[in-house]
């Protein structure tokens, strides 16, 4: 076995030494490429598939988990800025169970309600209150971190002691510091969710007394409620303006083509809440009265011969009344209660109504499709509901557009596409050349091995035939010698000849194995000389 291996290696060395310089380069490069490809495939196949074991760990918990993993001999990777630990996917659940038995992760950085487990009867009131506040802060921070885009959160509560009288009680306050994921921001509704979540978790905490800030120091919600309200109103105005802009822009793109017009809409919204109460009385004369009362008084008769009657006036004169000489008096009065309809109206106006709209439209004067600005103005007015009585305005202008930035961007895109195509083409060429070199190397090796095998067969066949002939001749000679001389000396000489023949035959076979091409060339030369 050892001799065969040595002969094989020696054959490879002689074959490589017989290559030309180009063949040697091709052989070395092809062999290196094959070895590198095999190494990469083996590494890819042998690399374990990692999955998260724990994420968002505190520094102390991460250190304890890593120390335990190293003690258990479990491979791991650290990602997520040190807060996420990855282990092979097939070991995730077993590792979690093992670490749970060790009390890991302990979540010592957050605390939570676990802080209350160590309290006993000897715990002071101050420590109880402090542990309760820390537990609430930890639980709230963990809950806030469950919101999308929030990586970490820190909550601080200010809970004043309870007073006997309510008017002497100081209000509770809270502050929340959040760190968002890279490239993400909290939306106004998410900020309001954080505010109300904290306020609902603490007894007596008003949402206006919760302050939310991000890791950049920007206040997202102040304790007076103005910050959140202003942010919400601004977002509503922007959303409404974007909706109108998109509606008009979509219409103009169908008319003048994309990129040939621009729109800007400014909306003034009324966020004041107003309450109106009005009472209206309505009556119809044709309707019968609800009630009617008539009162009449009549007096007849008098003193005979009395021609003058009346009452004494302010200065003692006698005034004549509603009587005549005969002493007759009459009086009639009527009272009616008519039906009156009473309408009481209580109206509340919701915030967010439109006070005014102002739209500006610019159309490229060099656009392929020519349009009339008056027609565009009419289309915009109808599309967004412009009301001149409300003070709305629309301005449409036709101006030349500056295409410098667009041309530069298009040129940059074309250049980038050309570079990408060139790099991809170069990569294809490089891979093709490499594949071609490997194929050529394999072809050369195959042809040489085939040639060597053919030469080995020819040489072996010729040598075997020669050896057979020589052996036959020696056998004939030995037979004749036996007939002539059978002495021990003669027998010893014959055995020595046979051993020499075997040794020569073995050497010839080894020579054919080592140098088949040279032996084949030598045999072909002998054959030519014989003929």
Q: In Å, how far from its chain's centre is CA 406?
A: 29
Give the mean model confidence (pLDDT) for residues 80-102: 84
Q: Which helix (H) or strand (E) holds 203?
A: none
User: What are residue 344's DSSP bridge partners?
Assistant: 279
Q: Does domain 125-161+170-223 have CATH number 3.30.300.30?
A: yes
Place of tokens 């959040």: 178
At the topology level, CATH places domain 50-102 in Alpha-Beta Plaits (3.30.70)
| The predicted structure's pLDDT at residue 423 | 82
Place of tokens 């008084």: 297
Mean pLDDT, the chain, rounded, equals 77
Query: What's the predicted TM-score (pTM) here?
Result: 0.42
* Nearest to 362, CA basis, from 397, 327, 338, 395: 397
Contacts 24+ apart (CB under 8 A), 216-221: 220/178, 220/186, 220/191, 221/191, 221/192, 221/194, 221/195
The domain spans of the chain are: 1-46, 50-102, 125-161+170-223, 238-273+347-401
Whether residue 90 is predicted with pLDDT greater than 70 in this model: the reply is: yes
Same fold? 125-161+170-223, 238-273+347-401: yes
| The predicted structure's pLDDT at residue 413 | 87
Max Cα-Cα span within the chain: 223
Indicate the pLDDT class of residue 313, thresholds 50, 70 and 90.
Answer: very low
Q: What is the pLDDT of residues 449-469, one digit of tens each?
A: 777 667 666 666 666 676 677
Say what percent of the chain tops pLDDT 70: 69
Q: How many angstroms separate the Cα of 335 from the Cα of each of 182, 285, 286, 341? A: 84, 15, 17, 19
Q: What's the rounded Cα separation, in Å, for the pair 301 and 328?
A: 6
Give whichever of 5-9, 161-165, 282-286 has the largest mean pLDDT: 161-165
CATH class, domain 238-273+347-401, is alpha beta
Greater confidence (91 vs 115) lies with 91
Q: What's the rounded Cα separation, in Å, for the pair 462 and 469?
A: 11
| The predicted structure's pLDDT at residue 320 | 46
As a three-state string, the secondary structure of 410-461 is HHHHHHHHHHHHHHHHHHHHHHHHHHHHHHHHHHHHHHHHHHHHHHHHHHHH
Q: What's the rounded Cα separation, in Å, for the pair 227 and 133?
A: 27
Give the mean model confidence (pLDDT) for residues 255-283: 85
């Amino acid at each position: 076995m050892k001799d065969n291996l040595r002969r094989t290696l020696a054959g490879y060395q002689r074959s490589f030494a017989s290559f030309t310089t180009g063949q040697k380069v091709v052989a070395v490069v092809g062999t290196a490429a094959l070895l590198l490809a095999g190494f990469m495939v083996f590494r890819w196949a042998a690399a374990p598939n990692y999955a998260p074991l724990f994420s968002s760990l505190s520094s102390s918990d991460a250190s304890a988990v890593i120390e335990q993993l190293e003690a258990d001999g479990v491979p791991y990777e650290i990602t997520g800025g040190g807060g996420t630990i990855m282990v092979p996917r097939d070991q995730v659940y077993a590792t979690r169970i093992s670490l749970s038995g060790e009390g890991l992760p302990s979540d010592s950085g957050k605390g939570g309600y676990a802080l209350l487990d160590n309290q006993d009867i000897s715990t002071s009131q101050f420590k109880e209150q402090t542990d309760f506040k820390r537990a609430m802060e930890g639980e709230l921070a963990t809950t806030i971190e469950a919101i999308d885009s929030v990586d970490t959160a820190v909550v601080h509560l200010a809970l004043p002691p309870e007073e006997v009288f309510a008017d002497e009680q100081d209000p509770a306050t809270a502050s929340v510091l959040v760190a968002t994921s890279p490239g993400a921001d909290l939306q106004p509704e998410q900020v309001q969710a954080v505010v109300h979540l904290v306020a609902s978790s603490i007894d007596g905490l008003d949402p206006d007394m919760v302050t939310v800030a991000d890791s950049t120091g920007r206040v997202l919600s102040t304790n007076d409620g103005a910050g959140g309200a202003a942010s919400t109103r601004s977002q509503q105005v922007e959303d409404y303006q974007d909706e109108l802009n998109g509606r008009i822009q979509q219409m103009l793109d169908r008319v003048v083509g994309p990129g040939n017009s621009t729109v800007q809409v400014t909306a003034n919204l009324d966020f004041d809440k107003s309450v109106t109460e009005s009472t209206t009385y309505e009556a119809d004369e044709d309707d019968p009265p609800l009630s009617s009362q008539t009162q009449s008084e009549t007096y007849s008769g008098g003193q005979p011969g009395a021609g003058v009657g009346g009452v004494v006036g302010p200065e003692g004169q006698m005034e004549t009344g509603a009587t005549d000489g005969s002493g007759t008096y009459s009086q009639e009065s009527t009272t009616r209660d008519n039906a009156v309809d009473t309408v009481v109206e209580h109206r509340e106006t919701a915030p967010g109504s439109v006070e005014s709209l102002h739209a500006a439209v610019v159309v490229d004067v060099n656009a392929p499709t020519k349009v009339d600005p008056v027609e565009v103005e009419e289309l915009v007015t109808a599309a967004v509901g412009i009301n001149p009585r409300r003070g709305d305005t629309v301005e449409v202008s036709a101006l030349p557009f500056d295409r410098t930035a667009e041309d530069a961007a298009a040129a940059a895109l074309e250049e980038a596409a050309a570079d990408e195509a060139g790099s991809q083409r170069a990569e294809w060429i490089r891979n093709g050349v490499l594949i071609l070199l490997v194929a050529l190397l394999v072809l050369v090796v195959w042809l040489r091995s085939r040639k060597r095998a053919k030469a080995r067969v020819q040489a072996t066949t010729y040598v075997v035939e020669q050896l057979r002939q020589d052996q036959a001749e020696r056998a004939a000679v030995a037979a004749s010698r036996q007939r002539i001389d059978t002495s021990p000396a003669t027998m010893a000489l014959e055995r020595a000849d046979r051993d020499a023949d075997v040794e020569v035959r073995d050497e010839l076979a080894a020579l054919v194995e080592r140098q088949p091409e040279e032996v084949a060339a030598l045999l072909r030369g002998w054959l030519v000389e014989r003929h």
